[in-house]
Amino acid sequence: MTITIVLLAMIAAFLGLRLYSVLGKRTGHEQEPVMRQPKERTIPPQPQRDEVIEGRVVDAAAPRDTVYHPSAEAGIRRILAADREFDVSRFMNGAQAAYRMILEAFWAGDRETLRDLCDDDVYAAFDSAIAEREARGETLDNRLVAIEETTIIGATLEGKIADIVVRFDADMAAVTRDKDGKVVAGSLSDGVQTHEVWTFSRDLASADPNWVLDETDIA
């Protein structure tokens, strides 16, 4: 399973580099999540006129750092046509919030929050990684230093199921402690750049406005 493989790969990478584990598909990448505050993912009106900046399509109603690649434009427009309440800027703010929340939940072993924000497969991967960590008696002391850039790189609509692929470029620091609280990997004084690709999904026919994490990978 891609999720499991990436999770293991990330965990190994972080231990070797002495860095974080954030969550993306590479669960080892522990970061703080942020997307839609749980149960609060409302999406407002359709965006205004788009403009192109350095070859990238930018939603006029979104912050200047909220962009999507031209390859995602067709999918975004299909989603806008199917859901008049969808708003790119709101979605991006929610995606960043979910990113932090999911990462923090994974680092803390908060299964309840993960269950609410992830689909079954992603949750199972996180749950397994947390269980292995608990079996070793290890805890994570990770921190998301900053999310440098968030970009939509893909979007599709299959029937009523909308998927939006988001790339997160962030800086984080991480520490792994053993059962006695001793540091066995990482350093909070050192940060590392991380690049992850998360796919968020939503059934547009559902009354639930929330998007869930459907897939994660490293960029």
Cα–Cα distance, 27 to 11 (Å, whole number): 7
**Domain of 11?**
2-218
Domain count, the chain: 1
Q: Dihedral sign, CA of 210, 61, 76, 25?
A: negative
Closest CA to 122 of 192, 187, 37, 213: 213
Each residue's pLDDT expressed in tens, for the chain with a length of 219 residues: 444 334 333 433 333 332 233 333 333 343 333 333 334 333 334 334 343 333 334 343 333 444 788 999 999 999 999 999 999 999 999 999 999 999 999 999 999 999 999 999 999 999 999 999 999 999 999 999 999 999 999 999 999 999 999 999 999 999 999 999 999 998 877 788 999 999 999 999 999 999 999 999 998
CATH of the domain at 115: 3.10.450.240
